[in-house]
Amino acid sequence: MGAVTMVEYGALPAVRIEGPGGAQATITLFGAHLVSWAGADGQERIFCSKRSALDGSRPIRGGVPVIFPQFAARGTGMRHGFARVSTWRLAGSGGEGGMAFAQFELNENDLAPGVAAAWPNPFSLALRVELLADELRLSLDVTNTGTQAFEFSSALHTYFLTDRMANVGIEGVQAGEMLITDKYDHIHFGVTEPIVLRSGLGALRLEQQGFPDVVVWNPGAADSAALADMEGDEYQHFVCIEPALVEPVALDAGGTWTGRHQIRVAA
């Protein structure tokens, strides 16, 4: 329990965490991108496209992209920000008391020159990934290490593996259970209840703190066909449920913002 090893995921260096009861997770340094998670029951819970680039040339299609400092095209910077296309550092790992973890960090010195020039604010990001037997905990700290406030948005753009779209039900983002029949792309502002995701793979209970919003996305058949990094009917096999801070907020010099996401295998 608590083993953390370096592995390869495609052509990308990655960290594999082995947690209690056989739980495991894999996170690439490119993007600090969690690409696989299974709890003690061994069921993979995270979708990653078979056609995803896995060489750092493009964002990974699937997993948990870390979105920072911009959500989607809502700003003048890179779509969904630069964190998902930057190479993070493994800053710590370990485990005790039924939990194993790895922590990844990124600051302005890690950015490609063009990226740094476009967003000249000193900052530090820390993504901590904690594995329990039946639970994954993600925690993102954004720290302003400069002398002037900056604005940012963020999300943990989680692609959940499902069996078929027709079997997906989501509780907690709107009144009643939400079903997805084709393309769906919606920001639910101010979600405070836990969310339950049901599919033929079982149920997951999702909770978040710090992130005020939840984005639910599936491209549906037509948009999926237009995505070069998504294969055939893969859109049938995932839904994105993303804890998000969509409207930019100001972070004062020296300040830290924290967003958390817990995903638990439910009965």
Please identify, among the stretches 46-54, 72-80, 115-123, 245-253, the one whose residues bind ligand TA6 according to the rule CB under 6 A.
72-80
Closest CB 215 distance from ligand TA6, rounded Å: 5
Residue (45 or 188) nearer to ligand TA6, CB:
188
Residue (57 or 109) nearer to ligand TA6, CB:
57
Site string for ligand TA6, 157-176 (x = CB under 6 A): x-------------------
Closest CB 153 distance from ligand TA6, rounded Å: 11
Closest CB 70 distance from ligand TA6, rounded Å: 11
Instruction: Determine which residue in the list 105, 130, 213, 242 makes contact with ligand TA6, applying CB under 6 A.
Output: 242
80 is an interface residue for ligand TA6 by CB under 6 A: yes
Handedness of CA 45, 102, 138, 2 (dihedral sign): positive
The pair of three-digit structure tokens given for residue 89, joined into one six-digit string: 């550092």
Residue (4 or 156) nearer to ligand TA6, CB:
156
Residues near ligand TA6, by CB under 6 A: 59, 72, 79-80, 157, 185, 215, 217, 242
